[in-house]
Amino acid sequence: MLREIGVEGIVSALHDIPNGEIWTEEAILDLKNYIEAAGLRWSVIESLPVSEGIKNNAPNRDQLIDNYIVSLENLGKCGLKTICYNFMPVIDWIRTDLEYKLEDGTSTLFFDKIKFAYFDILILNRKDADKEYTSEELAKVYELDKTITEAEKEQLIDTIIVKTQGFINGNIKAGDQNPVAIFNRLLAVYDNIDKNELRENLRYFLNRIMPVCEKYGINMCIHPDDPPFQMLGLPRIVTNEEDIRWILDAVDNPHNGLTFCAGSLSTGLQNNVPELARKFASRTHFVHLRSTETLEGGNFIEASHLEGRGHLIELVKIFDTENSKLPMRVDHGRMMLGDEDKGYNPGYSFHGRMFALAQIDGVMATFQHLNK
């Protein structure tokens, strides 16, 4: 189906291998050969997950990094050279609604700041969480508390902790008993880790893996935080231009690069996405083409791939001009045309992403025609 649609490269990973364990050459080749047998290529690894123990400097950090290096060596031996990863503690991308209904009948991902604050303050009961919100936001949280149902509370827990995180990093999965308690234990590990310490933990990790990256020509591509601002009291270190520049300068090696996720960066009002693309095109090794629209009160929504603060039309032009060999993929799509009945992971619909792919394919074809 993907080949018929016109897809050339596949972005995938060995999702069945637990975080921290070694990816063997045999397992890598099994998937690589499967993809190539369909006439496609495995273009990008997304992701080779970085274990929490690496992020928080656990006693077994060096062993976890040693395992990571072996996995990188095996990927390099198999000819796979582009690795997307993130360094977000505990939680990956955050939304409060995975099926937000739009007027045309499709649904998309949505972030409601008041619902998230309710989850943070009155479900997690995180210490001093109320100090991170304005008095107006707190008033709305306690107003919501008067009407929210138990089913709606359970839905928030399932959305924020289980459904999103379960398929991304495996910290919590469907069927776990008392996910709130598990989540709070994971958060507590970072109580005494600030932004500077997390940065240094990233620098240590990158310095350890750069020799194997140089040996096999592997490009590491860090993904921006999503959304790119502080949440749940956790340090976030990939939120804006200053953060990106720090990472690239901290380990000034061309194999230490960026996954340019326009969707993540566009939810931060501090970010001018096309300007960031121009500044960091030479150190970008992979691009996520999606967009968001920011709304009043700190809310945001996944936007059409031709609209929103991601400015994808402009981004395609920038990257096609500055770094034309980049692998780029459409990311996140609406649920449409029966996608909602297929059991897809949140944001990863089939028809919705193929619709987005057609939009971006048209944009790319236009630029290529104009540049002839």
**Active site residues per annotation:** 223, 261, 288, 331-332, 348
SS3 content of the chain, % helix, strand, coil (to 5): 50, 15, 40
> What distances in angstroms separate CA 187 from CA 15, 89, 190, 238, one per listed residue?
24, 8, 6, 19
DSSP notation for 153-180: HHHHHIIIIIIHHHHHT-SS-TT-S-HH
Count Cβ atoms within 10 A of the Cβ of residue 320 and give its class: 0-12 exposed, 13-18 middle, 19 or more buried.
middle
Alpha-carbon span 132 to 197, nearest angstrom: 21
Count Cβ atoms within 10 A of the Cβ of residue 22 and give its class: 0-12 exposed, 13-18 middle, 19 or more buried.
middle
Residue holding tokens 């074809």?
Answer: 365
Beta strands 107-111 and 300-303, pairing class = antiparallel
Residues 354 and 327 sit within 8 Å (Cβ to Cβ): no
Alpha-carbon span 336 to 138, nearest angstrom: 35
